[in-house]
Structure 1
């Protein structure tokens, strides 16, 4: 089969893409519970490296079964390595930041990524121009995100970081800054994928680059930090690691990159605002966290923002 077949023009998300993105956001939101369930058995950076390594093997097996070449010279090596390093940098910032600030504050700053993504695509990638109403949608959705986590701060106080994580100390501020850097790294990864030859290669190869490179970087960092160890082995920890590697890093990421080849990336990225909301919801259902009218209002703001971002452009008549 020829690998030079032109890809279909990217379009605004339809109902199928919207439903799939909501499902992916739910999967990514549940990942927070899975990570917490595994932390007692595997140190965080080592856990992230193992997840990437396992998923990289699964992507290689998937590509091999479908006859998709992963190692053919197609001019994507430079962009692929860059995307992989950025992918690893995102998780380095997240894990190091979580030792300085709370998980809730980290989520607020991490999920500024769609804003950085839209801005980067607006300036660097043709066909990704945002209209005013879509920028308004991003602002409204982010306001909902901020309100949702402000509600969490008011009701539960500190998160599960190494300290109280309110950002009032220099260490807390550094942790918050790492959260922003993680969001920027995530956004930069998306921009690299869309603005390079990776946009015209298979989703399997794009994902393999990120997983393989990040596995090497993260495992090397875990070794340097003295985290290359297993503290305990429990069925829950194994199930949680399997969820992260197979469902999240393999299946959901493969679907995400497939969506990027079919739909406008800036319209898809804004759905990421749903992920922390799902995370809080799973916290309510699984961990007994409180649920308030403020949180409901925040959720409605996020949904309104998504609706604004996906308002179709008016067509000229005649």
Structure 2
């Protein structure tokens, strides 16, 4: 992987890490369920009008949209609106990596090497430490559980993405965005109500409204279109196991940015848990990168297992 490509991968990690701050700003203006609908509607409209449908089965587009799009961001935005710190959310969401492997084992009957499972256990132990630190009150533990649910939704999306075998990742991502807006808008109308939604739209010209719009624009343009586009380009030109570990810079950027901009702090226990999560997910990703190289020498083309799936990538 060239130095230029390394810089690009690191820049994407910065974009995605700062995205959690953008989400935090947006949630100051918009209710969480409506914000999810708005985020994906902005992507869905141009996708339907200008982007040809990718050559994959419809069920995988729907599955990816339901998992990666709807479930992940429903629970993530709900968690952050309920008090989950932006920096800590960027860390806990990395549980999508272990969840993806577990789903691959149970649903797709894929094989996992013992060394990779050991690193995943380390990552889960780190998440347990963070959760234990959040047990001081239900007000802080519930957002933690909601973020974990969002990570599980991301993992479901990863499995659908894998099964789709799309060779047009940008088109696939754009068309996935068609799935969440309508169900999320209906959910927002029922749970948050037309009054709350209307107030968030009629107060856009306030300072908070401008920040909310800026956060939404950053999420759509920088984090999703630009960041995901660069990441897909890198993944198509480099081994997945070499690119994927750069995603572990996301929680480092997210937690650092939240500390610098929002004044968020973490306890010593949470920091120890964060280190375990990063070591575990990064180690599992590196073991996954080694696996395909070994199997390429001894296994016929077409044989796959879960080690081919990078732990976690997008947000």
TM-score, shorter chain, exceeding 0.5: yes
Structure 1 segment 126-205 matched on structure 2, within 5 A:
129-141=111-123, 143=125, 166=135, 168-169=137-138, 174-195=142-163, 198-205=164-171
- CA deviations on 1:288-317 (whole Å, 9 max, x unpaired) are 445898787667655644256315358599
Aligned-pair CA distance for 1:279: 1.1
Write 1 or 2 for the structure with the bigger share of helix.
Answer: 2
- 2:32 corresponds to: 44
Aligned-pair CA distance for 1:99: 5.0
Matched-pair contact (CA < 8 Å) for 1:120–1:191: yes
Q: How many aligned positions are there?
A: 282
Aligned-pair CA distance for 1:177: 3.5
Is 1:119 matched up with 2:80? no
Is 1:24 matched up with 2:12? yes
Structure 1 segment 238-253 matched on structure 2, within 5 A:
238-253=213-228
Which has the larger displacement, 43-52 or 90-99?
90-99
- CA deviations on 1:10-41 (whole Å, 9 max, x unpaired) are xxx88777655443332222112112222232
Match of 1:85 among 59, 62, 66: 66
In the alignment, the residues of structure 2 paired with residue 41 and residue 114 of structure 1 have an alpha-carbon distance, to the nearest angstrom, of: 31
Aligned-pair CA distance for 1:281: 0.6
Which has the larger displacement, 204-213 or 105-114?
105-114
Aligned-pair CA distance for 1:283: 1.7
Is 1:211 matched up with 2:177? yes
Identify if the C-alpha distance between structure 1 residues 223 and 262 changes in structure 2 by more than 3 Å, giving closer, same or farther.
Answer: farther
Identify if the C-alpha distance between structure 1 residues 93 and 269 changes in structure 2 by more than 3 Å, giving closer, same or farther.
Answer: farther
Matched-pair contact (CA < 8 Å) for 2:40–2:178: yes
Identify if the C-alpha distance between structure 1 residues 18 and 112 changes in structure 2 by more than 3 Å, giving closer, same or farther.
Answer: farther
Aligned-pair CA distance for 1:83: 1.6
In the alignment, the residues of structure 2 paired with residue 117 and residue 308 of structure 1 have an alpha-carbon distance, to the nearest angstrom, of: 12
User: 5+ unaligned residues in a row in structure 2: which ranges?
Assistant: 299-315
Aligned-pair CA distance for 1:60: 5.7
Which has the larger displacement, 182-191 or 293-302?
293-302
- 1:3 corresponds to: none
Q: What is the aligned-residue RMSD (CA, Å)? A: 4.1
Identify if the C-alpha distance between structure 1 residues 270 and 98 changes in structure 2 by more than 3 Å, giving closer, same or farther.
Answer: same
In the alignment, the residues of structure 1 paired with residue 78 and residue 283 of structure 2 have an alpha-carbon distance, to the nearest angstrom, of: 34
In the alignment, the residues of structure 2 paired with residue 194 and residue 24 of structure 1 have an alpha-carbon distance, to the nearest angstrom, of: 22
Match of 1:232 among 204, 207, 210: 204
In the alignment, the residues of structure 2 paired with residue 207 and residue 129 of structure 1 have an alpha-carbon distance, to the nearest angstrom, of: 27
- CA deviations on 1:160-217 (whole Å, 9 max, x unpaired) are xxxxx74643x7655444332221111010111102xx31341133112321111222
User: 5+ unaligned residues in a row in structure 1: which ranges?
Assistant: 1-12, 154-164
Report the 3-state secondary structure (helix = DSSP H, G, I; strand = E; otherwise coil) of the residue aligned with 1:228.
Answer: helix
